[in-house]
Amino acid sequence: EAASTSPPPSQLPSASRREDRPEVTLLPRKRLDIAFGPRYEEGESSSAAAARPAGGFRADYGFTERQLLAGRLNMLFRDRRAYAHTRLLMEAEAGMSREAWTQAIDACDLVHGEVISLRTTVLGQIPEIREL
C-alpha cells in the first residue's frame, strides 16, 4: 500500500530537449574561468593559484583588499605602541645622559677648583721652601 501512495519517479529530460539548445564552443581560458573562476591560469594547479596574490578576483567584492588593509592597520597600531615605548626609553636615556653630563661638569669644576687651590698653596710656600 505504501508503494502505491508514493509519487511516480521524476524523469530526466529527454535527449530531444537537449538537442534544442545550440552547442557553444569556448576557448580553454574561458572554460577555466567558468569552471574555477578567473584566478586560475591555463594548466595551473589550485595550489599554485592559492600561492598567487588574490588581487583582482571580482567575486571577493573587495574583501581581500579590506582584509589586507585591516592587517596593515593592526600592524600600525602595534607599531605605534612599540614606538611610544621606544620614545619613553629614549627620553629616559636622554634624561640620564643629561644628569651624567651635569655630574661630570660639576666634578670637573670641583677638580679645577682643587687644582687652583693647591697651586695657590704651592706658590705661597715657594718663598718658604727657598729659605730652607
Model pTM?
0.39
Residue 44 inside a domain? The answer is yes
pLDDT of residue 2: 47
Residue 76 inside a domain? The answer is no
Residue 45 inside a domain? The answer is yes
Measured distance CA(91)–CA(84) in Å, rounded: 10
Model pLDDT for residues 9-55, shown as the tens digit of each residue = 555 555 555 555 556 566 655 555 555 555 545 555 555 555 555 55
Helix (H) or strand (E) holding 108: helix 63-131
Residue 1 inside a domain? The answer is no
User: In terms of residue numbers, what domain contains 46?
Assistant: 14-52
Confidence of residue 84 (pLDDT cuts 50, 70, 90): very high
Residue 35 inside a domain? The answer is yes
Domain count, the chain: 1
Is pLDDT above 70 for 120? Answer: yes
Residue 115 inside a domain? The answer is no
Model pLDDT for residues 52-81, shown as the tens digit of each residue = 555 555 555 667 888 888 888 888 888 998
